Structure 1
């Protein structure tokens, strides 16, 4: 499975076929879980409620979250979303299965390569930047989106600067789009 949260939230199965995560709350839940993919701790019910509903949670938020989790499990298929024994939920995905985490890794790698191999750095940074399809975490409601997206957008700006620098150092003459 691949999860895309650098723009509108999307999920793709192992064949690359898109899965439709449903309405805005379901997409917000998938985004919140994908942010934590590969993390040691599960996402707590409290954190997920805050991130899915923002400042306007339903009266029985834990039950509403449980209903959303059930819908997301049906969408993603068996074994993709687990309940943690200590409470909370976890998306069973490697960090590189989520475009944001893959971007972060590639941007860091490109920045490292810049000092010794600018042409390779430019290629790596282009691959990282190509993962973006719109604003980071577009389906999270405020204020959760603001809290998480600012760092991602800053890394995006840094990767753009590094890519331009890599192009200049390697003598590229193509436009720096």
Structure 2
């Protein structure tokens, strides 16, 4: 079985056949279990995940009924009882969130090791797993969804860095600009855009972009750009000298 929780919760068999999951509570139960595959979760944890602060009068009974329905949908062996709770019988890589995190980490390591082509391929595979907001069927995903979205942004930033390392700065500019508009206070992302503009031969645009970033940080945070952005700005103001004409032949 494969489980998808990066968007509306889905389940599919090994041959790609989708599994009908039914209502929102059933999808919430599967999301809660898929977040921690192979780990037994006590009923009180699952009840909180599924119903939040408004559980039904007989919450343990309602949970037991939901587990029965999920077993009928997925197969009885998919959800086991253990240590007084329930667990999803699956490896982490069977869940798209955990597969995304593994691929993104491998992509980051590949870029750090000087292999941007492999990094790009791994990160493309990781990012393609996203179909919508993380944990969309969990009523109160809270910090867990925020953390997943933050890791997605990290992966997108690293993917653009790989594009620059491959010498494709021009191709990276439009998506980088859009991402910077979504996250105007993300200084590493903004620095990446300045590098892309410089690499694409647009230093004047890079300087104008820096000024926009500086103004935005001052207006929103009352702060100046950090060291990385300031260093980039200094480099843009003092470009390396142009190469001189080739030296003539040595004297006879």
TM over 0.5: yes
Query: How many pairs does the alignment contain?
Result: 172
Q: CA RMSD in A?
A: 1.1
- For 2:14 and 2:20, the matched residues in 1 are separated by 14
Structure 1 SS opposite 2:77: coil
4+ residue runs of structure 1 moved beyond 6 angstroms?
none
Aligned counterparts of 1:62 and 1:132: Cα–Cα separation in 2: 33
Q: CA deviation at 1:82?
A: 0.4
Instruction: Give the CA deviation at 1:147.
Output: 2.6
Unaligned runs of 5+ residues in structure 2 are: 176-252
Please state which structure has a larger fraction of its residues in helix: 2
Q: How many angstroms does 1:174 deviate by?
A: 3.8
* Cα shift readout 1:2-32 (whole Å, capped 9, x = no counterpart): 0000000000012110001110000000000
Give the one of 87, 90, 93 matched to 2:87.
90
**Greater shift after overlay, 23-32 or 111-120?**
111-120
1:35 aligns with 2:32: no
TM norm structure 2:
0.66
Deviation string 1:79-103 (CA, Å, 9 cap, x unpaired) is 100000x111000011000000000
Q: Which has the higher contact order (CA 8 A, sep 6+)?
A: 1
Residue by residue, what CA displacement relative to the aligned partner does 1:87-146 show, whole Å, maximum 9, x if unpaired?
11000011000000000000111110112201110110010000000000000002xx11
1:50-79, CA deviations, whole angstroms, 9 ceiling, x for partnerless residues?
000011100110110000000000000131
TM-score, normalised relative to structure 1: 0.94
Match of 2:103 among 95, 101, 106: 106
